[in-house]
Amino acid sequence: MASHPWFLEDDIQEIIIMTVVLWLPLVFSWLAIMSLRKNPTHNRPTAPFTRLPRRDDYKVLLSYSKRVHSRHSNKLLTSHIYRLPSEILSDIFLHAAQGQMDIVSNDHIRALNPLDPDAVPWLLRRVCRQWRQVAEATPQIWRVVDVHITDEHLQAMAVEPYKHVSQAQNRIITWLELGRKNLRPENLVTARNGMQVAVRFGKAGPKGTGDRPSMDHIATYCQFAILSTLLAYSEHWRLLRLEVHFDLLRTLGPFPKGRVKRLESLHFHVRGMSMIAIPQFRETIEIFREAPNLRSLEISGLIRSFWDQLPLPWHQIEDCNLKEVGGYVHQNEMLLAMKAGTAMTRCRVLAGVLDAEQLTGESIITNNSLKRLEYHSICGGARINRNDGHTFQYLNFPNLTALHLGVYADRGSYAAAAEMIRRSEARVSALDLRRPYAEEVNDLEQLLDCTANSLKSFKIHLSFKDQDVATTAEQTLKLLMRTVLREQTRCEHLTLVFITPFDLAEYTQHEPNTQYDAYVPLFVELARGVERARDPGIIVDVLIQGRGTVLGQVIENALKGAPSSSKRASRIKVSYMDYSYNAYPQ
C-alpha cells in the first residue's frame, strides 16, 4: 500500500501551489515595508518604494505580484506539451497505456489496479488540470481494470476496515464511471466495445498465482464488498477474468441472468473447491447463463458436481480452455464440454489422469466444428496411465486440422490419436507432439501414415538427456528421414526440438569431450536427408533446448558443417531456446 493517503485530491494541491506563487512575493514585500516604517533611517531601500507614497505600496506590490505570476504562467503555456490539441494528447495517453492493457496474458498489471495510487490513469490525472481533463475525457484508458487484493491490502484494511473498504470502493467506482462513458445499449453489437475486468484475490507471487487469503471476518467482508462493487457494472463487461476462492462464489448468486450481454470472453478460475465444500453451496450462478456474445471460455478448478450450478451457453463457445487445478478437471469434463460445445473450433485441455476413472458408459461424441485440439495431461510425469488413449476412443472430429499432444500426454496416446483420425476421416495438416517413449516409435509411424496425404506442418520433441531416451530419439530421427523427408508426403515445415543435457561448454572446454561424438554421424545424416528430401522447398527448423551446452554445439556444428553438393542443406535453421520442457504447460 502507498504511504500517502487516497483522500488528498489534485485540486487541493493545485490551489495550494497557486496560492504560494501569488502571495509569497507580496508577503515578503509587506514585511519589508513594515520594517522600513519601524526604522525609516536604517537601510532604506532604493526605488520603487522610496519614490512612491506609502498609501500606494499595497497597489504597487499587488500589481508587481500579478506581473510575476503572468510571466510564470506565460512561460508554462509556451511549452510544447500545452500546445497539443486534446485529441492528440488523448492518443498519447492511449499509446502510453497500450502495453499494459493485456490482462489475459499478463498475470498481474499493477499499473491498472485502481487501489494503487501509482496506476497509469491516476498518474496522468495528477499532472495538471489540463491533463486531468484530457484523461477523464479518454474513457479507453479507464476501461481496463485489474483489481488485485493481496494479503498486504487486507492487513492494511484491517486497521479501520469500514473506512478503507469505503475508500477502495470509491476509487473503483470513480475508475469504472470514467470508463463507462459512451457505452450505450445500442452499441452492444459493436466489436471490442466494453470493459476488460480482472478480479484476483490472494497473495501476489512471481507469476501472480495466489494462495488462499486469510478467510477471517475482515478479509471476507473486504472481498465481498469489493467484488459486489465490481458486479454492479457487469452490464459493461467485455472480458472478465475472475480468480477467487470458492467461498466468494456466493457473491455471484444474487445477480440474475441477462446482465452480461456484452461479455465476449470469460476466464473463470476457482481455488479451494473440494468434495466437502460442495454440499455447503446450494446457489445456482445464473449471471452467465445468457451471454449472447460469449465466444471464448477458460474454466478451471470446478469439479464435476458443480458444473450444473454454473450454467453456461456452451452451444455458442468457439474457443474453450479447460485447465486442471488441484486435480478436479478430468476426462469426464472434457467429454461434457465436447458434447455441449457444438460451435467449438478450438479446445485446449489440461487434465488430470485418474487411475480409477472409467468411461465405458459414455457414447462416442462427434463434434463437427472442432478444428484444433490441444491435449495436455498432468500425471506427475512418472506414473503410467492408459486413460489418455481411453479418452480418444470416445471422440470423433471429422473437421480436425491440428492436433497437439502436450508434454504429459501419456504413452499410448499416439496409437489412440491415429485411430481417432482414421475413424473420423479427418485431414490433419498440423501435428505438434511430445517426445515419444521407447515403445511408441511404431505408433508414431502409424500417426504419420494416417496423415501422410494432408500433413503440412510437423513438430516433435526429442530428448538426449540420457542414453535410453537418446536411443529412442535416434530411432525417431531415422523414421522421420525415411517418411517425412523421403516418402511421398505433403509436409512443408518440419520442426525438431532437441532437449540436451545441462553440460555447459564453458566448464568443459579444456577437457576432452568424446561422449557426444557418437551423435555427429546422426546429425550429418540428417543434414544430407534434408538435401535429398523429395520436396525441395521443405523448411527445417532445429530448436536446441539448452543454450551453450556441449551437445548443442555438437548438433549445430554437425548440421552447419555437413558436406553438401547443393544449397538445400544450408537452409536448416538452428536456434536455441530456454529450458522449459519439464515444466507443466501454462
pLDDT in tens, 451-469: 888 888 999 888 888 777 8
pLDDT value for 179:
83
Residues 238-244 have a mean pLDDT of: 85
For residues 272 and 248, give the distance between their C-alpha atoms in angstroms, rounded to a whole number.
Answer: 10
Residues 304-320 have a mean pLDDT of: 82
C-alpha cell at 61: 506590490
Q: Are 192 and 238 in contact (CB under 8 A)?
A: yes
Select, from the ranges 86-95, 194-203, 397-406, the one with the highest average predicted confidence (pLDDT).
Answer: 397-406
For residues 92 and 328, give the distance between their C-alpha atoms in angstroms, rounded to a whole number.
Answer: 46
Stretch among 51-60, 239-248, 347-356, 489-498 having the lowest mean pLDDT: 51-60
pLDDT tens, position by position, 317-373: 999 888 764 444 456 667 777 788 888 899 888 766 555 555 555 677 888 899 999
pLDDT value for 453:
86
Residue type, 49: F
Q: Which residue has the higher pLDDT, 327 or 154?
A: 154
C-alpha cell at 542: 532445429
Total Cβ atoms within 10 A of residue 28: 11
For residues 209 and 212, give the distance between their C-alpha atoms in angstroms, rounded to a whole number.
Answer: 10
Round the average pLDDT of the chain to a whole number and report it: 72
For residues 262 and 188, give the distance between their C-alpha atoms in angstroms, rounded to a whole number.
Answer: 6
pLDDT value for 569:
47
pLDDT at residue 72 tops 60: no
pLDDT value for 351:
67
pLDDT value for 412:
66
pLDDT at residue 196 tops 50: yes
pLDDT value for 466:
77
pLDDT tens, position by position, 503-547: 554 444 444 455 677 778 888 888 877 777 766 778 888 888 776
**Burial bucket for residue 59 (CB in 10 Å: 0-12, 13-18, 19+):** exposed
pLDDT value for 556:
79
pLDDT value for 327:
47
Q: Which residues pair with 431 in a beta bridge?
A: 403, 458
**Would you call 267 helix, strand, or coil by DSSP?**
strand
For residues 329 and 315, give the distance between their C-alpha atoms in angstroms, rounded to a whole number.
Answer: 20
Residue 398: pLDDT band with limits 50, 70, 90: very high
For residues 53 and 72, give the distance between their C-alpha atoms in angstroms, rounded to a whole number.
Answer: 28
pLDDT value for 408:
60
pLDDT at residue 379 tops 70: no
Stretch among 75-84, 518-527, 566-575 having the lowest mean pLDDT: 75-84
End-to-end CA distance of the chain: 30
Distances in whole angstroms, Cα of residue 232 to Cα of each of 218, 235, 237, 572:
22, 8, 10, 56
Q: Is 192 left (phi over 0), alpha (psi -120 to 50) or beta?
A: left
* Dihedral angle sign, alpha carbons of residues 91, 92, 94, 98: positive
Concatenating the DSSP letter of every residue in 541-578 gives EEEEESTTBHHHHHHHHHHHSS--SSSSGGG-EEEEE-
For residues 311 and 332, give the distance between their C-alpha atoms in angstroms, rounded to a whole number.
Answer: 17
Q: Are 338 and 367 in contact (CB under 8 A)?
A: yes
Q: Are 168 and 226 in contact (CB under 8 A)?
A: yes
CA atoms within 13 A on the CB side of 10: 13
Total Cβ atoms within 10 A of residue 332: 17
Q: What percent of the chain has pLDDT over 70?
A: 62
pLDDT value for 20:
64
